[in-house]
Amino acid sequence: MPDNKELILTRVFDAPREMVFKAWTDPDMVKQWWGPRGVTNPICEVDATPGGALNIVMEAGEELGLLKGQKWPMRGEFKEVIEPEKLVFTGNAIINDKEIMQHLCTVTFEEKESKTVMTVHIVVTKITPEAEGALRGMEPGWNQQLDKLGEFLSK
């Protein structure tokens, strides 16, 4: 199992900070970009208030070949919401109704020269042996997800 259980990713978006923040907190917007490439979100519930729930089910599409139709649920809870500066939430990975991994995600949004500098800091807080694949895919998955967010914001 990989040792690195922490991931820090930074992106600069040519979009106002309020818009980038909203893309993380409005369920209709989150649904359009969440998850790695080839994934849709048939269930996307986001209550971006402290104590509010996050419930997203990602579904593998055609372009993921043999994985097509697989569903990957993720549930969590918002711990801190400071609009439009910061989000802190927990999340987990679930396979066959069993939680295999938990993480804490902190997202900060900084305004810089009419652009938004967004930093995502993910720390894995609990892991089971079944999570090896999920852990290995965490960095490429999050990078694809943030690329999709950038594409969404540029529309």
CATH of the domain at 91: 3.30.530.20
- The pLDDT tens digits of the residues spanning 67-115 come to 999 999 999 999 999 999 999 999 999 988 899 999 999 999 999 999 9
**Cβ(108)–Cβ(86) below 8 Å:** yes
Asked if residue 68 is part of any domain, the answer here is yes
More confident residue, 133 or 61: 61
The token duo for 60 is 């593998």
Alpha-carbon separation of residue 56 from 12, 73, 76, 123, 134 (angstroms): 25, 6, 9, 19, 16
Task: Give the pTM.
Answer: 0.94
Asked if residue 25 is part of any domain, the answer here is yes
Asked if residue 94 is part of any domain, the answer here is yes
Rg of the chain taking only CA atoms, in angstroms: 15
Asked if residue 11 is part of any domain, the answer here is yes
| Total count of domains within the chain | 1
- The pLDDT tens digits of the residues spanning 62-73 come to 999 999 999 999
Asked if residue 67 is part of any domain, the answer here is yes
- The pLDDT tens digits of the residues spanning 26-50 come to 999 999 999 999 999 999 999 999 9
Query: Which pLDDT does position 2 carry in this prediction?
Result: 46
Give the mean pLDDT of 11-39: 97
Quick one: how far is CA 9 from the chain centroid?
A: 12
Query: Which pLDDT does position 3 carry in this prediction?
Result: 52
**Cβ(105)–Cβ(88) below 8 Å:** yes
127: amino acid identity, one letter: I
Tell whether the model's pLDDT for residue 1 goes beyond 60: no
Tell me the residue range of the domain where 48 lies. Answer: 6-153
Query: Which pLDDT does position 135 carry in this prediction?
Result: 87
Asked if residue 1 is part of any domain, the answer here is no
- The pLDDT tens digits of the residues spanning 128-150 come to 999 988 888 899 999 999 999 99
Asked if residue 125 is part of any domain, the answer here is yes
Q: Which of 29, 26, 76, 34 is nearest to 51 (CA)?
A: 76
* CA–CA dist 124, 47 (Å, integer): 22
Asked if residue 127 is part of any domain, the answer here is yes
